[in-house]
Amino acid sequence: MDMKDKYMGPFLDETEENLQQLNECLLAFEKGDQEVIDEMFRVAHTLKGMAGTMGFRAMMSLTHAMEDVLDGVRKGSCRLDRKEDVTLLFNCLDTLNALLEEIRRTGDDGGIDTTALVEKLKEAAVSERASEKTSQPAQSESEGRLLEVGVTLSDECLLKGARAYMVFEEAGSLGRIVDSNPPEKTLMEGEFEGREFSFILETERPPEAVKEAVMRVSEIRSCEIKELVESDEESGSAEGKAPRESGEDESPEESGNGSGGLKPSAPGVYRTNQTVRVDVQRLDKLLNLVGELVIGRSRIERLAKDSEFREFEEPILQLGRISKEIQELVTKLRMLPISFIFDRFPRLVRDLSTELGKKVDLRIEGRETELDRSVIDEIGDPMVHLIRNSLDHGLESPEERLAAGKSETGLLRVRAYQDGSSVVVAVEDDGKGIDCAKVIETALEKGLVTPEQAENMSEREAYQLLFMPGFSTSREVTDLSGRGVGMDAVKSKVEALGGRVSVESVVGRGTSVKVKLPITLAIVLALLVEIGGRTYAIPLESVDETLRVEKDQVKVVNGSLVTVLRGEVLPLIDARDFYGLKRRQEEEDLAIVVMRTGFRRIGFVVDEFVGQQEIVIKSFGDTGITRIRWFSGGTILGDGSVVLIIDPAAVEESA
């Protein structure tokens, strides 16, 4: 099998992780942390080795040039103390990300020219030479120590040749590899038996440094190092030194298992996380099967209940417990920390604040909060919109902040936390806040509201205008704002995910935008209701409460049904009228589902409450059915009947 085909998946995953690590290091370095230079050098060195193994020459040449510059900084022969130098490294990072996407798309990196960047890096390595250090007598080669390094790969390692290559790259950066067992060619091809190999390293570095370098490579179970003692007769040539520490009468237990003196792993050795990479398509298929299992379990439970055979009770309970545990396990397998999104924000804020001429202190909290992968995939762009909006509209310039008695550096806090069966993601700033009067004035100018509506508009209703298509308070169109897009896209995307957006603001003190999202979109609790003789489902996340209202408590105001609930006027939408069904009898009391969409609460009048049930959401895209207005998908109940899932946001917009 061609190496690119064989190793492409792991290469893409590990390169993406290394580029994220490089991004974090660059941001820290820009803030004055000089200690990350070693880590940046290591990442560049690793990327160079991986790209070289795969034959991606553009990426290899760029990372090699970066490695030279960073190595010079480590040794004190180069400086990176100008803003242009840091910007150059950020440009290199952007180009490496572009190369990665090119490889992901085409299988090669030849479509992107890195020559200009490589030349700039070479110039930086020459022009930024520090003053010559005091010359010191060079050590002779014989002063370096000889180390026998035994490496054991983890059981999960599938790419033995790639891992061996990376180990040699890491160790080779600290000295010279004299010999190996098996031979280097066999190691690089991954054709050796077992998961163990050894090599002799001539180096001036201590064994601890070598062990640390080797263990930085993923999927390494352990690394054992012995310092070799050379006799007087053998002191001439490093290549002639025997990989042996003591006499030839060493016992089998002491000499290891015959693989170059390697020892079995012992307590206290370094170990990698025992994890396995799984294709997301397999997880999706597994989740679909679990969904079918949940549906089948519901049907069996219903049949057992109808049959009234008591012998079924115990096995049914056991089946329910097992299927529930499987469902929870699969759901957890699909969960990802929100850091997958949050880790992009430091670079985003850095670039935008520089462009806007603003000083920003970014604080990120709750990186470990988990969401379903499907939610993670969709929420990234809306979060970017919110951050851009906060930087552009919320935070003032340093001069404006000082004039207002504030610190010239604005605070932008992005945090996530779990709230019941939901996750809340908040973007908060200590900027100028939202002027409701200005928002209403802009809406009037754009014809989005009438003068009568504007006169009686509450603060919350004014905030809702921010999410209307075409709304923008910017007078000028720039790359960041003024085009009337952004917040409406945020609202649409969040509500499509079954979530909602809320805004809180105090003029002069700042703004908080909160996005509440369901943890998973696959299997959720729903309220089952009856409308016109058919059963429908409403996601429980969108339901505030249910109630029954007597007919005389319902009034008609401006042609619309309303009722008063604990002093609040609640607009009502009759499901029968909404779906064009036969009108209900006048004497009937009303069963009302109070649904919340954004800032607004709506009373959805149904015929009857059926109960709560765990449902498996089947989107129309999965079934090949074109999206049906007012419904977000369907599900199958225990009796085998198909039920449509009502979309509260679509109902509110269409009312």
Q: pLDDT-derived band of residue 142, with 50, 70 and 90 as boundaries?
A: low
CA distance 500 to 600: 10
Angle between helices 37-54 and 3-30 (to 10 degrees): 160
Q: What is the pLDDT of residue 620?
A: 66
CATH value at residue 184:
3.30.70.1110
pTM to 2 decimals?
Answer: 0.62
Q: What is the pLDDT of residue 173?
A: 81
Q: In the numeric block, which tokens belong to residue 486?
A: 């952004």
More confident residue, 523 or 626: 523
pLDDT digits (tens, 9 = 90+) for 200-249: 998 888 899 899 889 988 889 999 999 886 433 444 444 444 343 433 34
**Is the pLDDT reported for residue 457 higher than 50?**
yes
Q: Are residues 510 and 382 in the same domain?
A: yes
pLDDT digits (tens, 9 = 90+) for 111-130: 899 999 988 888 877 654 44
More confident residue, 349 or 631: 349
pLDDT digits (tens, 9 = 90+) for 275-305: 666 777 788 788 778 878 877 887 787 787 7
Q: Are residues 533 and 513 in the same domain?
A: no
Q: What are phi and psi of 86, to 5 degrees?
A: -65, -40
Please check whether residue 257 lies inside any domain of the structure. no
Range(s) of the domain holding residue 15: 3-127
Q: Which residue has the tokens 């010559």?
A: 132
Q: What is the largest CA-CA distance in the chain?
A: 111
pLDDT digits (tens, 9 = 90+) for 190-200: 778 889 999 99
Q: Are residues 86 and 220 in the same domain?
A: no
CATH value at residue 322:
1.10.287.560
Residue numbers annotated as active site = 45, 67, 389
* Mean pLDDT value across residues 564-575: 88
As a whole-number percent, the residues of the chain with pLDDT over 90 amount to 23
CA distance 347 to 370: 22
**Is the pLDDT reported for residue 34 higher than 70?**
yes
**Is the pLDDT reported for residue 479 higher than 70?**
no
Please check whether residue 470 lies inside any domain of the structure. yes
Q: Are residues 529 and 511 in the same domain?
A: no
Q: pLDDT-derived band of residue 57, with 50, 70 and 90 as boundaries?
A: confident
Q: What are phi and psi of 539, to 5 degrees?
A: -55, 130
Q: Are residues 375 and 506 in the same domain?
A: yes
Q: What is the pLDDT of residue 269?
A: 37
pLDDT digits (tens, 9 = 90+) for 366-419: 999 988 888 888 888 899 999 998 999 899 999 999 999 999 999 999 999 988
Query: Is 357 in a helix, a strand, or coil?
Result: coil
Please check whether residue 221 lies inside any domain of the structure. yes
Please check whether residue 449 lies inside any domain of the structure. yes
Q: What is the pLDDT of residue 133?
A: 40
pLDDT digits (tens, 9 = 90+) for 298-323: 778 778 777 777 777 788 888 888 88
Q: What is the pLDDT of residue 627?
A: 53
Please check whether residue 62 lies inside any domain of the structure. yes
Q: Are residues 621 and 476 in the same domain?
A: no
CATH value at residue 609:
2.40.50.180
Q: Are residues 616 and 645 in the same domain?
A: yes
Q: What is the pLDDT of residue 476?
A: 52
Q: Which residue has the tokens 């009937």?
A: 588
Residue 397 identity (one-letter amino acid) = S
**Is the pLDDT reported for residue 358 higher than 70?**
yes
Q: Are residues 171 and 286 in the same domain?
A: no
**Is the pLDDT reported for residue 266 higher than 70?**
no
Q: Are residues 496 and 614 in the same domain?
A: no
Q: What is the pLDDT of residue 410?
A: 94
Whether residue 182 is preceded by a cis peptide bond, meaning omega within 30 degrees of 0, is yes
CA distance 24 to 346: 8
Q: Are residues 529 and 514 in the same domain?
A: no
Q: pLDDT-derived band of residue 265, with 50, 70 and 90 as boundaries?
A: very low
Residues 97, 98, 103, 106, CA torsion sign: positive
Query: Contacts for 399-408 with beta carbons within 8 Å, 24 or more apart?
Result: 400/432, 404/432, 404/508, 406/430, 408/359
Q: What is the pLDDT of residue 97?
A: 93
CA distance 399 to 402: 5
Domain count, the chain: 5
CA distance 434 to 594: 29
Mean pLDDT of the chain: 80
CATH value at residue 73:
1.20.120.160
Q: In the numeric block, which tokens belong to residue 441?
A: 């004035």
Q: Which of 16-20, 53-57, 575-579, 611-615 has the highest mean pLDDT?
A: 16-20
Q: Are residues 404 and 528 in the same domain?
A: no
Q: Are residues 284 and 343 in the same domain?
A: no
Residue 135 identity (one-letter amino acid) = S
